[in-house]
């Protein structure tokens, strides 16, 4: 398999994966709509940093050790499940506590008065959400080696393919952030904010439960 053909084929596979709505989509839309562009891009860069790390670990063979170790995989799976349930639960609890006339505070304390902290908080959330999901590692272990030609060096080629995935993720995230910003006026209304937090919270908790049950 030629390197150019491998890159194009991998781009098609991960492109379809990127466009599929999931946990990342819900987090980016919710953050962009309620917490501002800076924090939303923190979440985006955190998610994509995690993707690049998973790809690099896979190219080095580290991820294969994780998937081969039952204990290591289970520990990461439960840590990820607990984190997602905790994060989604906070959103649900915050939406239930907020009165209809109450303004929209940022639940993590990263409002406009702390723009740098808002970006850092988003970066931390996105990175943890990605790295604590062992299914991302399993995906890379199963898929990435298939697109690395036998004549290509393992690590550079694996990182190149991971960068393709990151680039597509950044492009799609820009679309999501832009869409959420156009809806920002409506979504920042207290009733709409509560609805968005409840929907996103349920999605995040649902992913956490699925991760815990191994579905």
Q: Is 73 a domain residue? A: yes
pLDDT at residue 101 greater than cutoff 70:
no
pLDDT at 99: 53
pLDDT at residue 175 greater than cutoff 70:
yes
Q: Is 200 a domain residue? A: no
Q: Is 54 a domain residue? A: yes
Is the dihedral angle over the CA atoms 46, 131, 166, 58 positive or is it negative? positive
Q: Which residue has the higher pLDDT, 205 or 117?
A: 205
Residue 70 is part of which domain span?
Answer: 3-82+107-188
CA 94 to chain centre: 21
Q: Is 214 a domain residue? A: no
Q: Are the CB atoms for 6 and 148 separated by under 8 Å?
A: yes
| DSSP code, position 30 | H
pLDDT band at 65 (very low <50, low <70, confident <90, very high): confident
Around Cβ 156, how many Cβ atoms within 10 Å? 11
Q: Is 90 a domain residue? A: no
d(CA 84, CA 89): 8
Q: Which residue has the higher pLDDT, 175 or 72?
A: 175
Q: Which residue has the higher pLDDT, 30 or 193?
A: 30
**Crossing angle of helices 70-97 and 190-213, rounded to 10°:** 160
What value does the mean pLDDT of the chain take? 83
| DSSP code, position 137 | H
Residue 215, classified by CB atoms within 10 Å of its CB into exposed (0-12), middle (13-18) or buried (19+), is: exposed
Q: Is 51 a domain residue? A: yes
Once rounded to an integer, what is the mean pLDDT over residues 128-138? 88
Of the candidates 81, 30, 48, the residue with the CA atom closest to the CA atom of residue 211:
81
Q: Is 99 a domain residue? A: no
CA atoms within 13 A on the CB side of 73: 15
Angle at 212 between CA 65 and CA 193, to 5 degrees: 120
Total structural domains in the chain? 1
Q: Is 167 a domain residue? A: yes
Q: Which residue has the higher pLDDT, 164 or 134?
A: 164
């Amino acid at each position: 398999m030629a390197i150019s053909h491998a890159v194009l084929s991998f781009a098609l596979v991960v492109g379809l994966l990127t466009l599929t709505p999931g946990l990342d989509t819900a987090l980016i839309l919710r953050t962009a709509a309620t917490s501002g562009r800076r924090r939303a891009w923190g979440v985006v860069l955190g998610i994509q940093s995690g993707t690049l790390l998973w790809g690099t670990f896979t190219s080095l063979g580290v991820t294969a050790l994780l998937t081969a170790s039952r204990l290591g995989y289970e520990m990461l799976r439960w840590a990820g499940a607990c984190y997602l349930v905790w994060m989604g639960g906070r959103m649900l609890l915050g939406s239930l506590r907020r009165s209809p006339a109450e303004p929209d505070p940022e639940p993590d304390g990263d409002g406009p008065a702390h723009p740098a902290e808002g970006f850092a908080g988003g970066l931390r959330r996105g990175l943890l959400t990605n790295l604590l999901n062992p299914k991302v590692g399993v995906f890379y272990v199963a898929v990435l080696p298939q697109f690395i030609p036998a004549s290509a060096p393992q690590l550079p080629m694996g990182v190149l393919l991971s960068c393709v995935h990151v680039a597509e993720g950044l492009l799609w995230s820009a679309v999501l952030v832009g869409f959420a910003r156009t809806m920002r006026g409506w979504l920042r209304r207290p009733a709409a904010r509560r609805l968005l937090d409840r929907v996103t919270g349920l999605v995040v908790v649902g992913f956490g439960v699925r991760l815990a049950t191994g579905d």
